[in-house]
Structure 1
Amino acid sequence: MRVGCHSITWGGVTGDATGVTSVKDLVYRVPGDMHRALRDIAAAGYEGVEMFDGNVADLAERPDQLHALLAETGLALVGVYTGANFVYDDALPDELYRVRRAAELARTFGAEQLVVGGGARRATGTPDSDYDRLAAALDTVDDIAREHGLSACYHPHLSTIVEGPDEVEKIFTRSRIGFCPDTAHLAAGGGDPAELIRRFPDRIRHVHLKDLRDGVFLPLGEGDVDFTDVLAAIREVGYDRWLVVELDSYDGDPAEAARISRAFLDRVLLDGART
């Protein structure tokens, strides 16, 4: 397994304001300096980086610059993360337009993975049919990824209709898309990340690692997530792709957070190799 880091920590996540009135233009974006982020990630000992669709799109306006930055840092672009509501029939074509654009960017810059989140919670509540809508949309996402030579995976996320274990079960029994377990989101949703990895052994396509304590996301080793069991589960299901540290924000230097997580993960991986 190789270890990467998401650039989100270098500024958190925002969206494009044009998306309020034009769904096709809505993207995720980290407002920080991506040149600094990639250099910090490489200096902390990571081999790859995952980025949001908006940041890759910004750099794609100067493709030689992103290619040069990846070459300079020695980082591989592991994946591109995007997302959508996926439950509103009328908006879906424009949302899939954005997903296709993210897939094109991922292919252009050599990424392996298209990571998607989403599944809107309606103001009036969530009908069971929304899980069918979400699953059908995710199958289309999977098709788009395959067309571009990518693997696609779904990331259960707080504030969506797929938070807790029962909701995770609902979507992965209805859609064929791969699974990107995020240790902190699954734990915050009331699940056991290691158990959910073991429950869907053939669906794991990508892994996000972050820690959690009292509802706060933290660098690895600073919260309550049992990463020894998580990594044991990952090995048991035969997963051997990227492990991506993904921390939404940090009260301090994001480079420090990256170093803390990398050092902790190295220790846990070494201990696991010895047993």
Structure 2
Amino acid sequence: MKTIKGPAIFLAQFMDDQAPFNNLDNISTWLADLGYKGVQIPTWDSRCIDLKKAAESKTYADELKGSLHDKGIEITELSVHLQGQLVASHPAYNTMFDGFAPEAFHNDLQARTEWAVNQVELAAKASANLGLNTLAAFSGALLWHTVYPWPQRPAGLVETGFKELANRWKPLLDICDSYGVDVAYELHPGEDLHDGVTFERFLEALDNHPRANILYDPSHFVLQHLDYLQFIDFYHDRIKAFHVKDAEFVKSGKSGVYGGYQDWIDRPGRFRSLGDGQVDFKGIFTKLSRYGFDRWAVIEWECCIKDPVQGAKEGVEFVNNHIIEVTTKTFDDFASTGADDALNREILGL
């Protein structure tokens, strides 16, 4: 067993043009004052990091890490969620996903994909320069528009889709391997990797590549009615990152899992600030600790009701109250009679 590190927080939902959310220096000072010990950095946001510079300059990486360390803050992981989305993107989503890339690559699927691939490569190099061993990502999606099997899927469609997804990620995973970096895919609706079965399909197409791993976020499993505790039993060896995010599913006579195209606040399944939803975090922290997960508990704040500042403030205490300092003693050691082979044989009547 090992003790989880934290609390940390993903910066993506907090960056803003207003202080203290307008750059890494200001927001890290604010978070340190709240009691945070780590930050997960969105690499697409230049207010947080110059990704190219971090990949090419160890000096810049050291200065970035050092400036945070001086405040008692560590970088937990770099995130390439948006770039990862564009590594594999179906043309039907071109217009909506163009906003994830610089304007120069809009309306050009091939150029945008090449840009995204390069971004992941840079993030792998930057992670190594920063002394990080995990990169948080989305997988992208070629098959998502067929997630419900109507019309009937042609034979072999799913296999072809996962083979192509693996072909796109295999070279990137090999690059990450050369830098000692795991890719932790957040299993998320809208991605071809959104549950255990799809992750297994991906692994099979990759010949079980050791760098293909999981960012565990139970909120997405609540919305899919997946057993998120048993998931840990199945996949704990591949869980390399953890988003602490709450959610709820309130049954309705009008709408279900698909949400009826409603806004988040009206959907039966919605994300909530920590402690306001239905996720059994005691169970999660217990299982992860039992299986030796000693990485970061990173809050990803998303809520359609509560203000983010309140969510961030409450999140520190919430995570601190759930981190288990794993025991180094057996509780009934006081009653031990010692270890002796002769005694054991006597007790067994041998």
Distance 1:255 1:148, change over 3 A: farther
Partner of 2:277: 223
Q: In structure 1, the residue corresponding to 2:35 is in which secondary structure?
A: coil
Q: How does 1:74-223 map to 2 (within 5 A)?
A: 74-82=72-80, 83-87=84-88, 93-121=114-142, 125=146, 127-128=157-158, 129-175=160-206, 176=209, 177-214=212-249, 215-223=269-277
Q: In structure 2, the residue corresponding to 1:200 is in which secondary structure?
A: helix
1:42 matched to 2:32? The reply is yes
Distance 2:238 2:44 in 1: 27
Shift of 1:69: 3.6
Distance 2:45 2:130 in 1: 12
Shift of 1:78: 1.1
Distance 1:271 1:69 in 2: 28
AA at the equivalent of 2:43: D
Distance 1:227 1:45 in 2: 20
Distance 1:173 1:145, change over 3 A: same
Shift of 1:84: 2.8
Shift of 1:226: 0.9
Distance 2:205 2:218 in 1: 22
Q: Is the 8 A contact 2:24 2:48 kept in 1?
A: no
Shift of 1:250: 6.4
Shift of 1:139: 3.4
Deviations 1:17-36 (A, max 9, x none): xxxxxxxxxxxxxx854333
Q: Is the 8 A contact 1:121 1:159 kept in 2?
A: no
Deviations 1:96-148 (A, max 9, x none): 21101122232333333211102224586363121222234333332222222
Distance 1:122 1:178, change over 3 A: closer
AA at the equivalent of 1:98: Q
Q: In structure 1, the residue corresponding to 2:138 is in which secondary structure?
A: strand
TM-score w.r.t. structure 2 length?
A: 0.63
1:267 matched to 2:337? The reply is no
Deviations 1:6-48 (A, max 9, x none): 1123148xxxxxxxxxxxxxxxxxx854333322322232221
Q: Is the 8 A contact 1:77 1:110 kept in 2?
A: no
Structure with the greater alpha carbon radius of gyration: 2
Distance 2:294 2:71 in 1: 23
Deviations 1:164-213 (A, max 9, x none): 44323423444431111111122223322221121112211111110002
Shift of 1:222: 1.3
CA-based RMSD of the aligned residues comes to 3.2
Distance 1:232 1:93 in 2: 41
AA at the equivalent of 2:34: A
Percent identical across equivalent pairs?
21
Q: In structure 2, the residue corresponding to 1:59 is in which secondary structure?
A: coil
Deviations 1:46-93 (A, max 9, x none): 221101111368633694873454133221111111123444695654
Q: Is the 8 A contact 2:135 2:181 kept in 1?
A: yes
Shift of 1:230: 1.2
Distance 1:148 1:57 in 2: 25
Q: Is the 8 A contact 1:213 1:224 kept in 2?
A: yes
Unpaired stretches in structure 2, ≥5 consecutive residues: 55-59, 90-108, 148-156, 250-268, 332-350
Partner of 2:347: none
Distance 1:269 1:58, change over 3 A: closer
Distance 2:324 2:287 in 1: 15
Aligned length: 257
Distance 1:54 1:167 in 2: 26
Q: In structure 1, the residue corresponding to 2:146 is in which secondary structure?
A: coil
Q: How does 1:36-75 map to 2 (within 5 A)?
A: 36-55=26-45, 59-60=49-50, 63=60, 66-67=64-65, 69-75=67-73
Unpaired stretches in structure 1, ≥5 consecutive residues: 13-30
Distance 1:236 1:56, change over 3 A: farther
Partner of 2:99: none
